[in-house]
């Protein structure tokens, strides 16, 4: 005969503490890294040959050598940018910020270890817990 | 007024069984259709226009596997909580806790993205009339109204979704017709706008990340399993029809947008509403208004469905003591999980107001991806522990284990795709789930009633 597990009662204060912990986890792990600009998309600035700019104190950019052609835009593309209300200077702010894909073996390896380790831990602990669930629901298995 | 906590009542209040296949379709497509109006375009940013098209097809295959697996398991485990309840019966409490969190975060972050788009779109609309006003009040107001509708009841929620989802879908059709796809070069300019793959094949791989956004949330159909009149019929039918609708909408969306907008603009991190912009550059005022309304409706329908789904997953975890039991309450009059609805709204609001759209979306995608990675494991265990014929299934999906293997491989590749460009955000998300898992395994599990986790009237699982 399997003994039925009776969980402890949880006080209202401890329930509130649990909720606060989960909220802190959501904001600490997910919100803060982005808010503090630690976890941002890996875009880099790549200017076409012969193109440069200077930034004024108020953040305004003054471009040198910039043209639609140097940005790789054919006449149809240029027309579409203009319909969207963009000048070549405004378009340059977008076009010169491509993604940089670094296939860093150590980075990939450590990320893979984190993901695989997470699933391995979860499946291992779940299996232990599931056996307790089945044992209480259906009784201990007779061999 | 006193509220009743379901866990402690002699007779639990149950959710109403009022939904049919049309509601299931509306719940699935209503959540996901917004992915055609915003977010998918970041796949263009990561891999170019052709890269995004390949991502659309490859991820379409991933979701076909999801729909096949989900239809079989959900029509058999017809209970609120969807995959969460499945995980309790197939794998164990810690997995179920994680799956519950995946669902809650995927839908809450999607909801945050939706209301952010709704707010910013209204700001654009007001700007067109000469009023320069902030978007944040619109975002908060949208969230408040939707929370109220959800608080009042699921039938009203999903009936509203059906109407506005259908209207949003029609706006895409209108845009397609208005751009005369039968007359290439007249309006659509693919010949001049499509370029080579800007990052090569690694960019195509990277674009799988946002390819998920075309379809993310279709699995939400099973969240309403407990409120469906005929789960064996309505869930597979509603889900499969939803996938077909989305495959059509995704193909049309890509075709129109890539024929009207330069890929760099389309894929830029701050590009909010590609279909609306596509309508705008046609110079057709009717199409511009139609796509403004369509984008707004799709965002509202999606946020509406997300509030519904996230709150039901949170509610189920509260009812099972994975979270404080206070969340397991059903409203005595409206029969909705009202405390869960109200608790999650401020989280969505804060992420909507302060986090950029592409990154809010990435949190939703990552939680969805973790959930899809769980599904093949779930399916494999389901068939092994209860082989065909041992229990009554509402639907049996063909070709097992091929869909499960395909899904697992595609999920692995998509994790790599997220790593490309968003590696730190991936690690932040994993840190969240690892800490939450340790918290549950070493602390919270003590409050869980063991035998109560298994509620289906099935025989003992084979091998246990």
Judged against a pLDDT cut of 80, whether residue B229 lies above it is answered with no
The H-assigned helical ranges of B182-230 are 190-193, 201-211
The whole-number average pLDDT for the span B284-295 is 95
Phi-psi region of B109 (alpha: psi -120 to 50; beta: other; left: phi over 0): alpha
Residues in chain A closer than 8 A to B416 (CB atoms): 108
Q: What is the mean pLDDT of residues B244-269?
A: 93
Domain-located, residue A47:
no
CB contact under 8 A, A130 and B373: no
Q: Say if A116 falls within a structural domain.
A: yes
The answer to whether residue A3 sits within a structural domain is: no
pLDDT digit string (tens) for B106-157?
999 999 999 999 999 999 989 888 889 999 999 999 999 999 988 887 666 6
Assess A60–B contact: CB distance below 8 Å, yes or no. Answer: no
Residue owning tokens 């409706």: B297
Residue A2 domain-assigned (yes or no): no
**Among B94, B421, B435, beta carbon nearest to A101:** B421
CATH architecture for segment(s) B17-452: Up-down Bundle (1.20)
Same domain, A91 and A106: no
Asked if the Cβ–Cβ distance from A29 to B445 is below 8 Å, we say no
- Is B451's CB within 8 Å of A4's CB? yes
pLDDT band at B6 (very low <50, low <70, confident <90, very high): very low
Q: Which has more confidence, B226 or B250?
A: B250
Question: How many beta-carbon pairs under 8 angstroms link A with B?
Answer: 204
Task: Tell me, yes or no, whether A91 and A72 share the same domain.
Answer: yes
Chain B closest-CA separation from residue A140 CA (Å) = 9
Residue A129 touches chain B, beta carbons under 8 Å? yes
Secondary structure (3-state) at B16: coil
Q: Are residues A108 and A91 in the same domain?
A: no
* B71-101 b/e (C-beta count within 10 Å ≥ 16 → b): bbbbbbbbbbbbbbbbbbbbbbbbbbbbbbb
Specify the higher pLDDT residue, B215 or B26: B215
Residues ≥6 apart with Cβ < 8 Å to B315: B80, B81, B327, B328, B330, B337, B339, B340
The pLDDT value recorded for residue B14 is 60
Shortest Cα–Cα distance, B265 to chain A (Å): 7
pLDDT for the residue numbered B288: 95
Of B95, B351, B436, the CB nearest to A31: B351
Residue A63 lies in a domain: yes
CB contact under 8 A, B437 and A125: yes
- Mind listing the pLDDT tens digit for each residue in B406-444? 999 999 999 999 999 999 999 999 999 999 999 999 999
pLDDT exceeds cutoff 60 at B78: yes
Residues of B within 8 A of A25 (CB-CB) are 432, 435-436, 439
Please tell me the predicted confidence (pLDDT) of residue B374: 95
**Selected residues 63-102 of chain A with any CB under 8 Å from a CB in chain B:** 73-77, 80-81, 83-84, 86, 91, 94-95, 98-99, 101
Looking at the structure of chain A, the number of domains it has is: 2
A90 and A56 part of one domain: yes
Q: What is the DSSP letter of B198?
A: T
Q: What's the pTM?
A: 0.91
| Residue B45 pLDDT grade (very low, low, confident, very high; cuts 50, 70, 90) | very high
Average pLDDT over residues B237-250: 83
Can you tell me the mean pLDDT for B186-193? 95
The predicted-structure confidence for A28-54, as pLDDT tens digits, reads as follows 999 999 999 998 888 999 999 999 999
Is pLDDT at A68 greater than 90 in this prediction?
A: yes
User: pLDDT tens across B324-358, in order?
Assistant: 998 888 888 888 889 999 999 999 999 999 999 99
Task: Write the residue in B420, B429, B451 that is nearest to A30 by C-beta.
Answer: B429
pLDDT surpasses 70 at B10: no
Among the listed ranges A22-31, B246-255, B429-438, which one has the minimum average pLDDT value? Answer: B246-255
Higher pLDDT, B226 or B297: B297
Give which of B188, B174, B259, B212 is closest to B40, Cα–Cα: B212
In chain B, what residues touch A30 (CB-CB under 8 Å)? Answer: 363, 428-429, 432
Residue A128 domain-assigned (yes or no): yes
pLDDT band at B38 (very low <50, low <70, confident <90, very high): very high
* Domain ranges for chain B: 17-452
Residue B322 has pLDDT above 70, yes or no: yes
Range of the domain at A78: 52-95
pLDDT of residue A26: 94
CB contact under 8 A, B347 and A123: no
Q: Judging by beta carbons within 10 Å of its beta carbon (0-12, 13-18, 19+), is residue B268 exposed, middle or buried?
A: buried
Of A74, A111, A138, nearest to B419 by CB-CB distance is: A111
Tokens encoding B310: 């996230």
Percent of chain B with pLDDT over 70: 93
* Per-residue pLDDT band at B2 (split at 50, 70, 90): very low
The stretch B275-303 carries a mean pLDDT of: 93
Across chain A, what does the average pLDDT equal?
Answer: 93
| A63 secondary structure, DSSP code | E
Q: What is the pLDDT of residue A1?
A: 57
Query: Would you call A103 and B45 a contact, using CB atoms and an 8 Å cutoff?
Result: no
pLDDT of B3 above 50: no
Q: What is the pLDDT of residues A121-131, one digit of tens each?
A: 999 999 999 99
Residue A77 belongs to a domain: yes
**Domain for residue A123, yes or no?**
yes
Question: Taking CB atoms and an 8 Å limit, are A5 and B453 in contact across chains?
Answer: no
Nearest Cα residue in chain B from A25:
B432
Same domain, yes or no, for A111 and A128?
Answer: yes
The interface residues of chain A toward chain B in range 95-124, judged by CB-CB distance below 8 A, are: 95, 98-99, 101, 103, 107-108, 111, 114-115, 118-119, 121-123
Residue B400's CB is within 10 A of a number of other CB atoms, namely 17
């Amino acid at each position: 005969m399997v003994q039925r597990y009776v969980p402890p009662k949880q006080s209202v204060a401890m329930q509130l503490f649990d909720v606060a912990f989960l909220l802190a986890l959501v904001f600490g792990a997910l919100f803060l890294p982005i808010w503090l600009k630690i976890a941002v998309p890996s875009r880099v600035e790549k200017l076409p040959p012969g193109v440069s700019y200077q930034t004024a104190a108020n953040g305004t950019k003054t471009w040198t050598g910039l043209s639609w052609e140097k940005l790789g835009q054919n006449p149809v593309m240029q027309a579409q940018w203009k319909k969207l209300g963009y000048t070549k200077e405004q378009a340059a702010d977008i076009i010169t910020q491509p993604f940089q894909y670094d296939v860093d073996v150590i980075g990939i390896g450590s990320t893979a270890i984190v993901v695989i380790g997470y699933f391995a831990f979860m499946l291992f602990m779940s299996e232990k817990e599931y056996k307790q669930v089945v044992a209480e629901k259906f009784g201990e298995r007779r061999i | 007024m006193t509220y009743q906590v379901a866990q402690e009542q002699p007779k639990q209040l149950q959710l109403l069984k009022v939904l049919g296949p049309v509601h299931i379709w509306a719940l699935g497509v209503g959540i996901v259709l917004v992915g055609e109006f915003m977010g998918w375009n970041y796949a263009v940013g990561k891999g170019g226009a052709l890269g995004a098209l390949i991502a659309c097809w490859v991820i379409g295959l991933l979701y076909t596997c999801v729909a096949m697996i989900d239809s079989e398991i959900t029509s058999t485990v017809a209970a609120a909580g969807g995959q969460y309840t499945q995980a309790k019966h197939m794998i164990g409490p810690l997995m179920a806790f994680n799956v519950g969190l995946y669902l809650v975060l995927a839908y809450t972050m999607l909801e945050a993205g939706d209301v952010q788009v709704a707010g910013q779109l209204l700001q654009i609309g007001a700007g067109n009339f000469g009023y320069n006003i902030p978007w944040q009040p619109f975002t908060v107001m949208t969230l408040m109204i939707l929370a109220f509708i959800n608080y009042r009841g699921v039938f009203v929620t999903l009936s509203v979704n059906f109407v506005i989802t259908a209207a949003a879908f029609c706006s895409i059709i209108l845009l397609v017709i208005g751009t005369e796809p039968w007359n290439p070069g007249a309006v659509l300019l693919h010949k001049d706008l499509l370029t080579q793959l800007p990052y090569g094949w690694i960019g195509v791989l990277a674009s799988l990340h946002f390819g998920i956004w075309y379809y993310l949330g279709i699995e939400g159909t099973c969240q309403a399993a407990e409120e469906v009149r005929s789960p064996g019929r309505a869930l597979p039918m509603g889900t499969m029809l939803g996938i077909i609708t989305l495959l059509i909408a995704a193909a049309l969306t890509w075709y129109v947008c890539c024929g009207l907008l330069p890929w760099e603009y389309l894929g830029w991190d701050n590009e909010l509403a590609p279909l609306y912009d596509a309508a705008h550059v046609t110079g057709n005022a009717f199409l511009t208004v139609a796509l403004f309304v369509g984008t707004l409706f799709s965002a509202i329908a999606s946020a509406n469905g997300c509030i519904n789904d996230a709150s039901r997953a949170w509610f189920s975890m509260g009812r099972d003591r994975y979270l404080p039991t206070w969340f397991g309450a059903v409203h005595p009059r409206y029969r909705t999980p009202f405390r869960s609805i109200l608790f999650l709204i401020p989280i969505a609001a804060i992420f909507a107001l302060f986090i950029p759209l592409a990154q809010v979306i990435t949190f939703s995608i990552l939680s969805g991806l973790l959930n899809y990675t769980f599904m093949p494991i779930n399916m494999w265990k389901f068939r092994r522990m209860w082989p065909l014929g041992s229990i009554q299934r509402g639907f049996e999906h063909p070709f097992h284990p091929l869909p499960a293997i395909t899904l697992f491989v595609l999920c692995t590749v998509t994790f790599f795709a997220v790593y490309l460009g968003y590696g730190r955000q991936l690690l932040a998300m994993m840190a969240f789930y690892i800490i939450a898992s340790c918290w549950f395994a070493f602390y919270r599990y003590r409050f869980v009633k063991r035998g109560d986790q298994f509620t289906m009237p099935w025989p003992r699982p084979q091998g246990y």
